[in-house]
Structure 1
Amino acid sequence: MAKNTIKPDSTDPISSEGMAVKRLSVEGNIAVGKSTFMKLLSSFFQEWELVTEPLRKWQHVQDSAPHGGMDNLLQLMYDDPSRWSYTFQTVSCMTRFKTQIEPLSRQLLSLREPVQVFERSIYSDRYVFAKCLFELGHLNPMEWTMYQEWHSFLTREFAEKVHLNGIVYLQATPETCFERLQKRARKEEKTVQLDYLQKLHEQHENWLIKKTTDVHFEHVKNIPVLVLDVNEDFKNNPLASQRLATKIENFLAEL
């Protein structure tokens, strides 16, 4: 079995038209354990294609001015959200669109049952993060309207290319996420407070559990959702990891 490595995007792309690929996104709060979960999937399902968040692209945005350097847009957004939220959400969403519409690799196309998994998606970008920033006042009404208009246009324009078969929701309390965030000590996240994680948790719950979020795309309204409780540390727990992998396998079989 050819071992798959987690990578930020596909290589050697060719057309994926007509392929019965099962495409999932892994959703969840900041520091819930998405990266650890993607590594878990890589170890259990070695032929799957796993597409991680383009974090480095957000941390290293090229300044096109003469002698320009690199700007950490993620840092700017956390430091001054009212100034940088719209810019960050534009870049964030566009990089997610690029990964979701990229043709499948030859390696994936050669499989009998190809599976592609994204770490977050264009849908959580809108219905969790951008929505939360608007409700906090960091996106003004004009910016929120503009974001939604181009997001809807691109989602309908690309249609099947950004279609997902299911969503895996990693669910943990905001307190658990805050504890994990402090342990990993990512420099950009020093200013992130528990209150913000609580608001993001509510957005996830409203969208994926309570179904009270106003979703604008029919296939997203009715998309199957697998909820995985990850309050328990599964990184160094083989039994917990095996249970999660089995649930994913069963979920895929039903799609």
Structure 2
Amino acid sequence: MAETSDSSVRQRCFKKISVEGNIACGKSTLVKVLQKLRPNWHVVPEPLEKWQNVVGRESGSMPAEMGAASNLLGLRLGDPKRWAYTFQTWATLSRLHIALAASHPPERHTVYERSVYSNRYVFAASLHEQGSMNDTEWVVYQEWQGWLLSELDKRVELDGMVYLRAEPEACLARMRVRNREEERGVGLEYLDALHKRHENWLVDRTTVVHHPCSSDTPVLVLDANQDFESNEELQAELINQIEDFLDKI
């Protein structure tokens, strides 16, 4: 029998997954739990700081006179029609920077808080549907994002996705508790629209996708309606389900 190389063993044993879900469904909480209880995993939070303080790699920083304009997340939520395309472009680029910085094949389990796929099939698609991104912007966004994913291929491919499934009403209640300034204008109608897109994409699998990784990727659906931030028993249960999922994919 031929010997199996160390690199092929690593590639088979260690997986890259994303945690997907609505705003305030519990993703950030799960990420913190994983960082604490599975320190040997590479857990990557959503790059909120990059969105709230736009700094160019070439320019080094935003000019001081721009002030609050560097908070692209706040601008997007405050004036969607003006900033939706710009934000989705920056969000995708920032996620790709993070993904490309990771080792390939992975040397340990890697967990990302959301992915470039939810950027496209949930958030950007919803913004286009609502009229915040016009038809031309939507076509341009799909073209360059699709081309990049095709070129990068295995380097950004996911082995699985974990969907934290929570009702929009539960998400709204949590969002009000955490009280982020950028989210104050987000209402139940928007959360409901995002919930339906997550359901179509990850549960019903009716979303038309244009990249094999996104259409064929295994999905683990976890009930996130119950708040698990202070519930250690529920935290352990969720992690056990994720570990079983990692073993199977």
- TM-score normalised per structure 1: 0.87
Instruction: Write 1 or 2 for the structure with the bigger share of helix.
Output: 2
Q: Deviations over 1:221-255 (max 9, x none)?
A: 11110000010111111111111011011101101
Which amino acid in the other structure matches residue 53 of structure 2? H
Structure 1 position 31 matched with structure 2 position 24: yes
SS for the counterpart of 1:61 is coil
SS for the counterpart of 2:200 is helix
Structure 1 position 249 matched with structure 2 position 248: no
Measure the CA separation in 2 of the matches of 1:179 and 1:68: 34
CA distance 1:67–1:194, change in 2 (3 Å): closer
Structure 1 position 210 matched with structure 2 position 235: no
Q: Deviations over 1:86-118 (max 9, x none)?
A: 01100011101111111329xx73xxxx10000
Measure the CA separation in 1 of the matches of 2:54 and 2:239: 35
Aligned pairs (5 A) from 1:48-127: 48-62=41-55, 64=62, 68-69=66-67, 71-104=70-103, 109=107, 114-127=108-121
Q: Deviations over 1:166-223 (max 9, x none)?
A: 0000000000000000000001111001100000000100000111111111232111
Structure 1 position 234 matched with structure 2 position 228: yes
Measure the CA separation in 2 of the matches of 1:104 and 1:218: 21
Measure the CA separation in 2 of the matches of 1:248 and 1:210: 20
Measure the CA separation in 1 of the matches of 2:171 and 2:98: 26
CA distance 1:46–1:138, change in 2 (3 Å): same
Measure the CA separation in 1 of the matches of 2:44 and 2:198: 21
CA distance 1:43–1:137, change in 2 (3 Å): same
What fraction of aligned residue pairs are identical, expressed as a percent? 45
Deviation, 1:68, is 4.5
CA distance 1:196–1:182, change in 2 (3 Å): same
Alpha carbons 2:161, 2:219 under 8 Å: kept? yes
Deviation, 1:46, is 1.5
- 1:133 corresponds in structure 2 to 127
- 1:4 corresponds in structure 2 to none
- RMSD (Å), alpha carbons: 1.7
Uncovered stretches (5+) of structure 2, i.e. residues with no partner: 1-6, 56-60
Alpha carbons 2:54, 2:62 under 8 Å: kept? no
- TM-score normalised per structure 2: 0.89
Q: Deviations over 1:8-28 (max 9, x none)?
A: xxxxxxxxx865130000000
Which amino acid in the other structure matches residue 42 of structure 1? Q
